[in-house]
Amino acid sequence: MNYDICAAVISDLSTDARVWKEVGSLCDAGYAVHLIGCGYEMTEIRTSERQGVTVTEIPIGTRSKSPSYQERVRAVSSVWRAVIATKARAYHCHNIHVLPPCAWAASRLSAPLIYDAHELYGDNRAGERLHRKVVHYLERRLEAYALRHADGVITTNPSRALVLKARHGLRDIAVVGNTPKTVHEVVPWNPGFPEGVPVLLYQGGIYAEERPFREIIEALRLLEGVHFAVVGFGREQQITLLRSWAREAGVESRVHVLPAVPFDRLVSVAAAATVGIVPLRALDLGYYLGDTNKLYEYLMGGLPVIATDLPEVRRIVSSGSPPVGELFVRNDPAEIAEAYRSVVTDGKAYEARRREARRLAMEAYNWERDQRGLLELYAELLPAPLDRPGSWSMEPLSREQPADAAASDPEPAEVRAAESS
């Protein structure tokens, strides 16, 4: 079968909310899409039809531990082969790890190439070894090729768009945010929070040392009675580390790693918490200028936020009257605790923040607005066939996941495709 669009990504499709939202919007606009990606807990390649979308999933090991080198190579090569075998009118490359086959197929068929920059690439981190610096150099070269040869380029926020333009001398870049679909009536849904206590919520990937989880856990010692709930996916080693820190801090009973929930339920989960937290480390420029799915999910759920003070996060958290949240400049336990208290101490102000979070999400930070950049780009590059009506609605792929895994961040979006380097 020939398709309008072949979309490819090296990530677990069951948790990649951004990819599914884009596929849904394109399908609704009348395009026939073949989505190619990866899946955990699989033993063989699966191809299925889901409401007008052909989905090919490539095995990439188990979620509980990092894929082996052989598993990574096997998964990436299988995705590449699937892309090359797909005839399409356009190729949508979700980050650089699928750029080579998408670029080759697009060139061979004289089809448009769309590069979707979920991340920034090529920045070295302090203390990295030589082989990592070589990897970053190669990533920057691939990013440059993508920016200079793609017929259309997309990224996640204005700051990243400015960096990509400055780096590669590019023309316009479409900004398509990591916002959730509008939820007109939010019904709080408790995935396992303890009853009758304040809950500080983290949604997303558990990268224990790349994010200040230890500092959050230590902040609990300064926040009597507050519980920290993690609704996210993570390797066994990462979850074990998080729990060991909780024991060391003497707050083990107030730290909860909860079972998985589908990404279309995360807004309802957010609505059931007290405060959402967005903890980040500026490990490189990509992290420094990042924003995350969780931030917008919190707002759609009417949940006030505390967050690390980084540019794109600050732009959102400082919005509203009163602002929807508070920032901590350093990832310091005392600052985290103070930011939390600033949000919750005044009951009337707290309720006003909840209303402002919900208002901003409904008016500005939602997928129905953000998808416009995607659809305008495709309308210019690849007019949709007039005889193919869209008929898609977002339902996450259903596969059994370990109790300590949860959808969705994916921030970073890839299956740690960077791990494959």
> What superfamily does domain 3-178+368-398 belong to in CATH?
Glycogen Phosphorylase B; (3.40.50.2000)
Which one-letter amino acid corresponds to residue 83? Answer: V
Rounded CA-CA distance 35/10 in Å is 11
Rounded CA-CA distance 337/215 in Å is 10
Torsion over CA of 105, 107, 113 and 118, rounded to 10 degrees?
A: 60
236-266 per-residue burial string, b: 16 or more CB within 10 A, e: under 16: eebbebbbebbeebebeebbbbbebbbbbbb
360: three-class secondary structure by DSSP: helix
Average pLDDT value for the chain? 88
What are the strands, taking DSSP E only, across 46-186?
Answer: 46-50, 53-59, 88-94, 113-117, 152-155, 174-175
User: Cα 92 from chain centroid?
Assistant: 17
Burial class for 48, CB neighbours closer than 10 Å (0-12, 13-18, 19+): exposed
Per-residue pLDDT at 387: 60
pLDDT for 279-325, tens place per residue?
Answer: 999 888 888 898 889 999 999 999 999 999 999 999 999 999 999 99
Which of 60-69, 251-260, 340-349, 383-392 is the most confident on average? 340-349
Beta strands across the sheet bearing 113-117: 46-50, 53-59, 33-39, 3-12, 88-94, 113-117, 152-155, 174-175
% pLDDT > 90, the chain: 68
What is the pLDDT confidence band of residue 383, given thresholds at 50, 70 and 90?
Answer: confident
Asked whether this chain's domains 3-178+368-398 and 199-363 adopt the same fold, the reply is: yes
Count Cα neighbours of 211 within 13 Å in the Cβ-side half-sphere: 26
Rounded CA-CA distance 320/268 in Å is 21
- The CATH fold assigned to 199-363 is Rossmann fold (3.40.50)
Rounded CA-CA distance 94/86 in Å is 16
Q: Of 105-109, 386-390, 404-408, which gets the smallest average pLDDT?
A: 404-408
Is residue 255 within 8 A of residue 243, CB to CB? The reply is yes
Mean pLDDT of 188-216: 94
As beta bridge partners, residue 117 has 155
% pLDDT > 70, the chain: 90
Residue 397 has pLDDT above 90, yes or no: no
What is the pLDDT confidence band of residue 421, given thresholds at 50, 70 and 90?
Answer: very low
- Give me 386's structure tokens: 């007039």
What is the pLDDT confidence band of residue 388, given thresholds at 50, 70 and 90?
Answer: low
Residue 4 has pLDDT above 70, yes or no: yes
Per-residue pLDDT at 169: 83
Per-domain boundaries in the chain: 3-178+368-398, 199-363
Predicted TM-score of the model (pTM): 0.89
Task: Write phi, then psi, for 116 (nearest 5 degrees).
Answer: -110, 100
Which of 49-53, 88-92, 95-99 is the most confident on average? 88-92
